[in-house]
Amino acid sequence: MSRGKLIAGIIVVVVAGILAWRMFGSGGEPGARRGSPGAGADDAPVPVTAVAATAQDVPLYLTALGTVQALNTVTVSAQVSGQLQAVHFAEGEEVKKGDLIAEIDPRSYQAALDQALAKKKQDEAQLAASRSTLQRYSDLIEKKFVSAQDLENQRQIVRQQEALIAGDAAAVENARTQLSFTRVIAPIDGLAGIRQVDAGNLLQANGSAIVVLTQTHPLNVIFNLPQQDMAKVREADQTPLVVSAMSRIDSTPIAEGVLKVIDNSIDTSTATFKLKAEFPNADRKLWPGEFVNVRLAVRTVKDGIVVPATGVQQGPDGEYAWVVQGDSTVKMQPVVTTGTVDGGGVLIASGLSAGDRVVTEGQFRLKTGIKVAPMAPGEVVAAKAPAEGDKKSGNRGRR
């Protein structure tokens, strides 16, 4: 035998010996050693988080997108023409009904009032003279010193002058009203907006806006609901219905009000109907023109079955939940939900009973009949201690 073949044979024997030592060094059977971890893993329970379904009173809500609307909005305009002399409000501040908003130059209107008063006094003097003449004619008619026709003519003169005085009184009142319009008064309580005109400008009657007043407390929220919800709203078990305005960022309640109006018709183009809720808004958390999520409480379900929303899955045949059985196996249970519950829960109409343990985490590893290790929310699987054989292997490796 050549030297090269001898060396190659020695190398093959050495490699075979090393492989045999690695496989049979611990004295165990190789097949059993390789197979035992896999077999144990298949039989180990799957750790899952399970929560028991609870029975509680659950309020049912209808939700929609609403628009905040001021209870009253008034554009304060000049009712008479003239130069704006002064502005008596601060932009963005609260104005009370009856407060002085602005002043218009009153001199021409004061002169018109004085002229009307003077004309009335002149006519009153003429009326007094005519009445005195009528009295004399009445005394002389008995002595036949005046004719009956003269007496009747004088009576007509008195009546005409009395009517003239009535017209003068109306003219005086009109002039006084026009003069009062030179002092612009707030018609409502409200928040003053941005000033539309500055002092010194010439205003035109019923055409020049000075400021817009907006009543921000209380105020309204307008929203629409689908027509199929009409019966739920009209047959609600409480009056008035409570309406909550929710933040569009984190869905937390901003304010609470009551439903005031259900519109008298359904919009045929959108198949929705309009509702209006009123909010006190004393803290001004709502602002006219903003959008809010609206939640309308229509009724309360007594002893409703509630589970966490993560426990309900959506499948090709509808909604279902994994339920832990008494022998720690799971089964797929079809369910029907009827709405959400505060705190991240859902209301179950059918399929579950109070006390049923529903898997809320770890569903992706489940199949019907598999064993599970139910844990409470937040609980973690304890780390297993290394096996005795692993400890020896580790010690040999360190040596």
Nearest-angstrom CA–CA distance, 369 and 10:
56
What is the average per-residue pLDDT within 139-163?
Answer: 86
Residue 127 in domain: yes
pLDDT band at 286 (very low <50, low <70, confident <90, very high): very high
Report the DSSP beta bridge partners of residue 291.
67
Q: Which of 137, 163, 181 is the last residue of a domain?
A: 181
* Non-local CB neighbours of 13 within 8 Å, separated by 6+ positions: none
**DSSP β-ladder status, 46-52 and 372-375:** parallel
| Enclosing H/E stretch for 215 | strand 209-226
Q: Which of 132, 166, 181 is the last residue of a domain?
A: 181
pLDDT at 340: 77
Residue 40 in domain: no
Query: pLDDT digit string (tens) for 200-239?
Result: 999 999 888 999 999 998 999 999 999 999 988 888 767 7
Residue 113 sits in a domain of what CATH number?
1.10.287
In the predicted model, is pLDDT for residue 115 greater than 80? yes
Question: Is the pLDDT higher at 196 or at 344?
Answer: 196
Nearest-angstrom CA–CA distance, 265 and 230:
11
In the predicted model, is pLDDT for residue 162 greater than 80? yes
What is the average per-residue pLDDT within 178-202?
Answer: 94
Range in 3-7, 207-211, 301-305 with the lowest mean pLDDT: 3-7
In the predicted model, is pLDDT for residue 24 greater than 90? no
Residues 308 and 371 in one domain: yes
Nearest-angstrom CA–CA distance, 232 and 60:
10
pLDDT at 4: 62
pLDDT band at 34 (very low <50, low <70, confident <90, very high): very low
The 3-state DSSP class for residue 93 equals coil
Range in 309-323, 331-345, 350-364 with the lowest mean pLDDT: 331-345
- Report the 10 Å Cβ neighbour count for 328: 14
Report the DSSP beta bridge partners of residue 75.
212
pLDDT at 29: 41
Residue 22 in domain: no
Query: pLDDT digit string (tens) for 313-331?
Result: 998 889 999 999 999 999 9
- Is the CB of residue 103 less than 8 Å from the CB of residue 85? yes
What is the average per-residue pLDDT within 289-299?
Answer: 90
Question: Is the pLDDT higher at 243 or at 384?
Answer: 243
Nearest-angstrom CA–CA distance, 164 and 271:
63
Query: pLDDT digit string (tens) for 244-277?
Result: 999 888 778 899 999 999 999 999 999 999 999 9
- Is the CB of residue 101 less than 8 Å from the CB of residue 88? yes
In the predicted model, is pLDDT for residue 151 greater than 90? no
Residue 353 sits in a domain of what CATH number?
2.40.420.20
Range in 36-40, 189-193, 345-349 with the lowest mean pLDDT: 36-40
What is the average per-residue pLDDT within 109-134?
Answer: 93
Residues 116 and 53 in one domain: no
pLDDT band at 101 (very low <50, low <70, confident <90, very high): very high
pLDDT at 2: 59
In the predicted model, is pLDDT for residue 98 greater than 90? yes
Range in 40-49, 163-172, 202-211, 366-375 with the lowest mean pLDDT: 40-49
Q: Which of 164, 181, 198 is the last residue of a domain?
A: 181
Structure tokens at 307: 């589970």
Residue 65 in domain: no
Structure tokens at 62: 């209808």
Question: Is the pLDDT higher at 93 or at 32?
Answer: 93
pLDDT band at 27 (very low <50, low <70, confident <90, very high): very low
pLDDT at 398: 47
Q: Cis ω on the peptide bond leading into residue 374 (within 30° of 0)? A: no
- Is the CB of residue 45 less than 8 Å from the CB of residue 371? yes
Question: Is the pLDDT higher at 390 or at 278?
Answer: 278
pLDDT at 236: 78
pLDDT at 20: 64
Residue 295 amino acid letter = R
Nearest-angstrom CA–CA distance, 227 and 265:
10
Nearest Cα neighbor of 358 from 376, 384, 336 is: 376
Query: Residue 338 belongs to what domain range?
Result: 47-60+303-375
Nearest Cα neighbor of 241 from 260, 218, 266, 227 is: 260
pLDDT at 6: 67
On average, the pLDDT of the chain sits at: 85
Nearest-angstrom CA–CA distance, 105 and 103:
7
pLDDT band at 192 (very low <50, low <70, confident <90, very high): very high
Residue 151 in domain: yes
Q: What is the DSSP letter of 377?
A: T
Domains in the chain, number: 2
Residue 339 in domain: yes
pLDDT at 114: 96
Residue 226 in domain: no
pTM of the entire predicted model = 0.63
What is the average per-residue pLDDT within 3-20?
Answer: 70
Residue 252 in domain: no
